[in-house]
Structure 1
Amino acid sequence: MIGSQKQVINSTGRPTPTALILSGLKADFKKLHNVLSCSHCQTTGKIVSNGSTSRTGSPQFKCKCGATFTASSMQSLINAVQYKIPEVHSASEPVVSPSVSILGHSISMADIHEIESDIAPVLPTVMPTLQDIWDRFQAYDEHLSALEAVQKENIELRKALATVNATIARLTKENVDFSVGAAASKYATIAASVPVVSQADFPSLPASQTHHSTEPTKTFVSKTPRKRAPTARAIAAVVCGMTIKENADQGFQIVYVPNAIRLPISTQCQRLRKLKIDNARVLDLHYPDRKVMGMLVHNEYAPELKTILASYGVTTLDNFDPLDPVHLRDPALASLSLDDRATKAIHVHNDCMLRAIEFIRAPVKFAVARSFCSQGWISDDQLAEIVPPRPTKKDLDISIHTASITIPSFSDL
């Protein structure tokens, strides 16, 4: 807030007003320190000088209660005492000489009092501004100290990082050198430990001592995996493919049986297997109505399936009609007319047949689709989407021409 001691001399060679103010403040404090009252503990005569700041050289003061005073706050205390006790100068012991020496320059007290009288009117106005500047300088000093500490820490961290990197590089190099050296020393040790032999170290045996073994030489034959015998189903499939039945009943039908519980399809397949029913010949299982299950099979297997079921006391539902509107159990469809319900039943059965075809593998699905179309369960357009068109003679000629290759003659080789 108050100028530093480095700027106590102006261009004319005389001390600056700031230096004079500080000198006068110190002189007034020496005269009035016995009557100055601390604003914190309200004790008189307990304030002492506490040196000066390191940057600006401004004097500092401290009370024995721990409170500190800057130059501006001390000047306020001195002014308050001087205004209340104007005769304090005569009552106190004179401690100031007629002249003051500031940095080797002697200034008379008359000049000091003259300067004080000149700046006394503007001092109350200037002091708050100087106090604000002083506070800002202190804040800048704190920020500068923090930045210096950060800079110092940064330098130390950089040094530590460089040391760590050098250590890592050294250890990596030592590890590589050690691995290469260990491998070389290992093979060198083996080579040194193996003695050098020659043909002279192994003389040939006499002819009379030569031993010929009469035992037959054992030959090891690798064991080939045993082939499993074909199952009866596999044999029947081969025989069926090599047999042509006259007047065979081609096509597919759905055999409906009672079903108390609607179980997952996988569980139903396990239950049919327990009844000795060939699941490979049951192409689809679905539930067209409550307590009813339908099994899609070939026409030739249908009588055998019914015989197996009858042997276990299961009666097939031969009169079940999946297109009957009575099987529509959705309450939202109850308000429809009889014709609309019949149309809806046809659509529901059509969707069920399309889903069944979707899960059947080709080429069986194509035969099933043709059978469903002949029974009116799917339309011709739907059949055309499922069954790919057969290639014509023109398509075959184009494919053969595209796949043809030129065989070079022996003369070209």
Structure 2
Amino acid sequence: MSTLLPSSVMQGMSPDLASFLGNMQAQFMSLQQRTNELESLAATNARLTAQLVNAEKLIADLRSQLASQGNCQITTNASTSSAPTTPKEPGTEASTWATTAAAAHNSVVVPTALSVCKTPRPPSVRQVAASARMFAIPTGLKGYQYVYIPRSRRLTHREVRNSLKTLGVDTGRILDINFPAKDVVGILVHNQYAEKFQTTLTTVAIEILDAFDPLDPKNIADPKYKSLSDSELEEVAAELHSDRCMKALKYLRPHVAVPVGHFFCDQGWISKEDIPVHSVSGPGAGIHDFQSPSRRTSPRAIYDVLQHCHSLHMLFITETWLLPPSRLPTSWSQIHLYGSPVAGNYRGSMGVSVLISPSCPYPVTQIPMSSNYALAIKIGSLRIVCLYLPPSMSTHDALAVLSSIPLTNDTIICGDFNSRLGSLTGDYVVFQCRCYNYDIKS
């Protein structure tokens, strides 16, 4: 705003008069500025008041619509009411706690909250991408891989997932997390996500342990294995890693467990028998639905058995379910009568194996047999024939197998005959292969 009087007029006045008019001029300009601000605030207040009225009207309309549709219950405040009390006779009914309990029982509480129907949240970008992948033609890299990174302390699976999510990792693409060594974390991802995953980690200066080997015996930190030899430690390392893989398969979704199981098998970490047979879904599906058909010949089972066989030179196993060229995870020498393939499954049926201890002082050789149910070996001067006769085999066929065995004075016949001994032992379960007598003559 311009001055009230020209400067030439102000110069012709006395100093006192000029000072007085200057002060008046400053006060006037200050009042003018405040007036402009008040006018602006009044306009803003009027605008907001109009918006508030419109909002209240909209809220009232929405409440009436919800109430008319019956989707929500609108309640008002109400005080609690209780039934009139009558004088109580002295005794239990006259106690303070009895009166309090009765008042609480008779009171009626009316809810005061307005229950508002929740609107469904829109799907996230990750959910949309996951749904779109279901209908996309598979392209790019196939298969899976473990990415190993260091850790500075003991971590839980939840801590690892939360930390990776904070770093920007899509945790929905992480299939498994394990801890193969005391200072290492292993993370299983699909090959198509591996590059992006590693780039995200290296961006925040996290080292990728490309040279880490989960089968290295140096990863074993349990002191109970200190007394084992190098070869035995290698077996334990392979066994522990196989157990980690089996645990991962239990918690994967059915449609993912099968291909991941094949990846583990291709790496030599598990056997074909450990691959989930099929995908199971439905209300009854659980982690046990994805266990391998048989864990009898798993690395853990073999290791546990041999731990109690230090004094033995030889061990026969029936129903191994092995198919060629599979072998058992042990340093003991092995001879196998492989089983028959089972249609639609990644395993065999039947099968007999013999394990020979490295400390066995006698030479062991296999004796050819025409039967698919008998494994024969020669140890020293003895001949040992181990049989597995399935429960479905008829008595006639079982006797035919026994009759085909060449008998000598030094022949030992053993195995699983699946024969029922009936009243002799109180066993009355009936198989086709019933109790039979077979005379062994020299």
Q: TM-score, normalised by structure 2?
A: 0.36
Return the structure number with greater helix share. Answer: 1
Greater relative contact order (Cα < 8 A, sep 6+): 1
Return the structure number with greater strand share. Answer: 2
Structure showing greater radius of gyration is 1
